[in-house]
Every structure is written in C-alpha cells, then in structure tokens.
Amino acid sequence: MLDDVAPVDDPARALRGIGEKYFAPLMERPEARALWWPRFQRIAGWFADWEIARRGNVAAIDAEIRGEISIPLDNARTFYLSARADRIERRLDGTYAILDYKTGQPPTGKQVRMGLSPQLTLEAAILREGGFEDIPADSSVGELVYVRLSGNNPPGEQRTLELKIRSNDTPQPPDAAADEARLKLEALIRAFENEDQAYTSLNLSMWSNRYGAYDDLARIKEWSAAGGLGIEEW
C-alpha cells in the first residue's frame, strides 16, 4: 500500500509528458494527431483536477492490486475468486474506496444488482475477507466508484455506484452489497456443481447482445418462436 499520496506539483503537465512519449510513434497518423491526442490532453487536464480534489480524503492508494479469496465447496473442492482492482484507496476515516476506470458507459446500479456487472461488489467482497495484501479482513468499504474517461464533453466523470435493496428500495451500503454478491456467487457456484444443472446459452435475454456466440447451436430462434425463453435474475 502506498503511504505517500501527495500529487506531483503539476499533475496535468506530468500526464501530458507521459502521453507525448507514447503518442510520439503515432503522430504520423492523422486520426491520432487530430482526434486521440486532443482527447488525451482533455482527459489529462480533467484527471489532474479530479485527482487533486480526491486526495483530500485519502490516506493511501494502491493501483492495479490483485486480490483472491477461496470458497470451499462440499465435495472437498475449492473455488478461487480473484480480481485485479484498478485502484483501492484507504480513506482518512479508515474505510476503503474501490475505483474502476471506464472508457465506455459504466453499468447502472440495477445492472450490478442483477449480477450483470458484479465486478466492484465482488472486489469489495474480496477486500472484506482480507484477500488484498495489507488490507485487514473485516475492513469496511465506504464507496464504490466508476471513473469514466472519454475526452469528450465532459472529458471525465466520477460516478459513485448507488445500489438499493430490492424489497424496499432503500439505499444499500457497499458492505451489504459486497456480502450479498458473495452469497449469490457461492449459490451460483454450488448450483453448477450439480451435474444435472444445465448450462443455458441465453439468460436475461433483454440484456443480451442481438446475436450470441452459441445461438445457432442452441437453436435460439426455434425456441423463441415456441415461447421457450424465460428471464432469470442472478
């Protein structure tokens, strides 16, 4: 875990200097010079301002940190859940924030709750079980955050993941969301430990791509015409 979180004197300039190094071989390409380099410069400026403001509540930062926990099963087998978190912050109040960088649209709270995008909640579960080095088990996760970087207008955006308890639509704290995701994952693993459990090719059809990789083999069109599709939640 990094102890020194003080930014450099001019982070925007430092970022642009790094960008110049890696963009240099691409500057002969018109699309890189006219489109991607200006986008990067806008991102660098936005990110520098965001970083300075963000670090006011941060005691330590770790980037690209790998974590893993084990989930014992009934038949002496073990499932290992691992992840590489983009960024984990230890905040001044002793809680942790987990951040994920995105270039596209971050998932919604509903998509996370349904199990379509469980990355942050499962990373929080790993953290709470002591799966990340130097972070004690039973630590509390106070915030789950997506940081979207596009270079457009706006160049960047911070989106705190807001989850709600399905039964009464009240806010769900990150710790509770992590525990729920962990329980749902274990239930799913145990379900597929049963040899009679089928591996279906199409789940949550309303969220699927138009054409799936196994649609032809599974005869999705034929089953759809016969009314054989259902929607299940994770």
Is the pLDDT at 143 greater than 50? The verdict is yes
Q: pTM for this one? A: 0.85
| Residue 229, both tokens | 């599709």
Predicted pLDDT at 130: 97
* Residue 165: other Cβ atoms inside 10 A: 14
Query: What would the pLDDT profile of 111-123 be if each residue is shown by its tens digit?
Result: 898 888 999 999 9
Regarding beta strands 58-72 and 171-172, do their DSSP bridges make them parallel or antiparallel, or are they unpaired?
A: unpaired
Query: What would the pLDDT profile of 59-93 be if each residue is shown by its tens digit?
Result: 999 999 999 999 999 888 999 999 999 999 999 99
Is the pLDDT at 144 greater than 70? The verdict is yes
Contact 140, 197 (CB under 8 A): no
Which residue type does 21 have? K
**Rounded-to-integer distance, Cα 44 and Cα 69, Å:** 35
Predicted pLDDT at 223: 64
**Rounded-to-integer distance, Cα 123 and Cα 144, Å:** 10
pLDDT band at residue 231 under the 50/70/90 scheme:
very low
The arithmetic mean of pLDDT across residues 23-28, rounded, is 94
- Characterise 114 by phi-psi region: left (phi > 0), alpha (psi -120 to 50), beta (else): alpha
**Rounded-to-integer distance, Cα 160 and Cα 87, Å:** 14
Which residue's structure tokens are 């806010």?
171
* Residue 215: other Cβ atoms inside 10 A: 17
Torsion of CA 39, 13, 33, 31, to 10 degrees: -30
